[in-house]
Structure 1
Amino acid sequence: MSDDPKTLTTRQGHPVHNNQSLRSVGERGPATLENYQFIEKITHFDRERIPERVVHARGTAAHGFFEAYGKIGNEPASKYTRAKVLTQAGVQTPVFLRFSTVIGSKDSPETARDPRGFAIKFYTVEGNWDLVGNNLKIFFIRDAIKFPDMIHAFKPDPISNRQEAWRFYDFVQHHPEALHMVTWVKSPWGIPADYRHMEGSSVNTYKLVNEQGQAVLCKFSFQPKLGVKNLTSEQAAEIQAKDVGHATRDLYDAIERGDFPEWEMCVQVMADGEHPELDFDPLDDTKRWPEDQFPLLPVGRLVLNRNPSNFFAESEQAAFGTGVLVDGIDFSDDKMLQGRTLSYSDTQRYRVGANYLQLPINAPKFHTATNQRDGQMAFSVDGGGENPHVNYEPSSQGGLREAPLSSKPYAQWVEGALGRYQTTKARSDYAQAGERYRTFEDWERDDLINNLVADMKDCPEDIQLRMVWHFWHCDEDYGRRVAQGAGIDLEKAKALPPLEGRPAPGQDFPAGTGR
Structure 2
Amino acid sequence: MTDVSSQGPAPGDEREVLTNRQGHPVYDNQNQRTVGARGPATLENYQFLEKISHFDRERIPERVVHARGVTAYGYFEAYGAWGEEPIGRYTRARLFQERGKRTDVAVRFSTVIGGRDSSEAARDPRGFAVKFYTEDGNWDLVGNNLGVFFIRDAIKFPDVIHALKPDPVTFEQQPRRIFDFMSQTPESLHMLVNLFSPRGIPADYRHYEPSVLGGLREARYPTHDEQGPEIRGRVTRKRIPRANDYQQAGQRYLLMEQWERDDLVHNFVTLLAQCDRPVRERMVWHFLLVENDLGLRVGEGLGIGPEDVAGLEPLPGQDLTDEDRERLAHLGKNPPRDVSGLTMTHCVPDKRHVVTR
Q: Would you call these one fold, judging by a TM-score over 0.5?
A: yes
Offset from partner CA, 1:279-312 (integer Å, 9 cap, x none)? xxxxxxxxxxxxxxxxxxxxxxxxxxxxxxxxxx
Contact 1:427 1:506 in 2 (8 A): no
Q: Aligned in 2, Cα 1:401/1:507: closer, same or farther, shift over 3 Å?
A: same
- How high is the TM-score relative to the length of structure 1? 0.48
Of structures 1 and 2, the one scoring higher in RCO (CA 8 A, sep 6+) is 1
- Write the letter of the residue equivalent to 1:358: Y
- Write the letter of the residue equivalent to 1:433: A
Offset at residue 86 of structure 1 (A): 2.2
Matched, 1:151 2:161: yes
- Write the letter of the residue equivalent to 2:314: P
Q: What corresponds to 2:222 in structure 1?
A: 401
- Write the letter of the residue equivalent to 1:419: T
Partners of 1:142 and 1:498 lie apart in 2 by 19
Q: What corresponds to 2:34 in structure 1?
A: none
Q: What corresponds to 1:421 in structure 2?
A: 238
Q: What corresponds to 1:171 in structure 2?
A: 181
Q: What corresponds to 2:32 in structure 1?
A: none
- Write the letter of the residue equivalent to 1:121: K
Offset at residue 158 of structure 1 (A): 2.0
Contact 2:152 2:240 in 1 (8 A): no
Matched, 1:185 2:202: no
Offset at residue 90 of structure 1 (A): 1.6
Q: Aligned in 2, Cα 1:63/1:450: closer, same or farther, shift over 3 Å?
A: same
Structure 2 SS opposite 1:195:
coil
Matched, 1:435 2:260: no
Q: Aligned in 2, Cα 1:146/1:380: closer, same or farther, shift over 3 Å?
A: farther
Q: What corresponds to 1:62 in structure 2?
A: 72
- How high is the TM-score relative to the length of structure 2? 0.68
Contact 2:107 2:130 in 1 (8 A): yes
Contact 2:193 2:249 in 1 (8 A): yes
- Write the letter of the residue equivalent to 1:499: L
2:280 to 437, 441, 464: 464
Offset from partner CA, 1:24-49 (integer Å, 9 cap, x none)? xxxxxxxxxx9xxxxxxxx99x9799
Q: What corresponds to 1:448 in structure 2?
A: 264
Q: How many residues align?
A: 269
Q: Aligned in 2, Cα 1:143/1:119: closer, same or farther, shift over 3 Å?
A: same
Offset at residue 416 of structure 1 (A): 5.3
Contact 1:58 1:105 in 2 (8 A): yes
Which is richer in strand? 1
Q: Which runs of 5+ in 2 are unaligned?
A: 1-42, 44-51, 325-357
2:170 to 160, 163, 172: 160
Q: Aligned in 2, Cα 1:476/1:414: closer, same or farther, shift over 3 Å?
A: farther
Offset at residue 155 of structure 1 (A): 0.7
Offset at residue 417 of structure 1 (A): 3.3
Q: Percent identity?
A: 48
Matched, 1:72 2:44: no
Matched, 1:88 2:114: no
- Write the letter of the residue equivalent to 1:123: Y
Offset at residue 50 of structure 1 (A): 3.9
Q: What corresponds to 1:316 in structure 2?
A: none
Offset at residue 401 of structure 1 (A): 2.8
Which has the higher Rg, Structure 1 or Structure 2? 2
Partners of 1:94 and 1:163 lie apart in 2 by 38
Contact 1:115 1:185 in 2 (8 A): yes
Offset at residue 415 of structure 1 (A): 6.9
Within 5 Å, give how 1:293-332 maps onto structure 2: none
Partners of 1:474 and 1:468 lie apart in 2 by 10
Partners of 2:184 and 2:309 lie apart in 1 by 15
Offset at residue 125 of structure 1 (A): 2.4
Q: Aligned in 2, Cα 1:451/1:379: closer, same or farther, shift over 3 Å?
A: farther
Partners of 2:323 and 2:91 lie apart in 1 by 37
Q: What corresponds to 1:51 in structure 2?
A: 60
Partners of 1:447 and 1:437 lie apart in 2 by 11
Within 5 Å, give how 1:184-223 maps onto structure 2: 184-196=194-206
Partners of 2:251 and 2:85 lie apart in 1 by 31
Matched, 1:358 2:174: no
Offset at residue 139 of structure 1 (A): 1.1
Partners of 1:379 and 1:106 lie apart in 2 by 34
Q: Which runs of 5+ in 1 are unaligned?
A: 1-33, 35-42, 197-356, 360-372, 386-398, 404-410, 509-515
Partners of 1:485 and 1:456 lie apart in 2 by 10
Within 5 Å, give how 1:339-378 maps onto structure 2: 357-358=207-208
Q: What corresponds to 2:353 in structure 1?
A: none
Q: What corresponds to 1:256 in structure 2?
A: none
Offset from partner CA, 1:209-244 (integer Å, 9 cap, x none)? xxxxxxxxxxxxxxxxxxxxxxxxxxxxxxxxxxxx
Q: What corresponds to 2:19 in structure 1?
A: none
Matched, 1:483 2:280: no
- Write the letter of the residue equivalent to 1:417: R
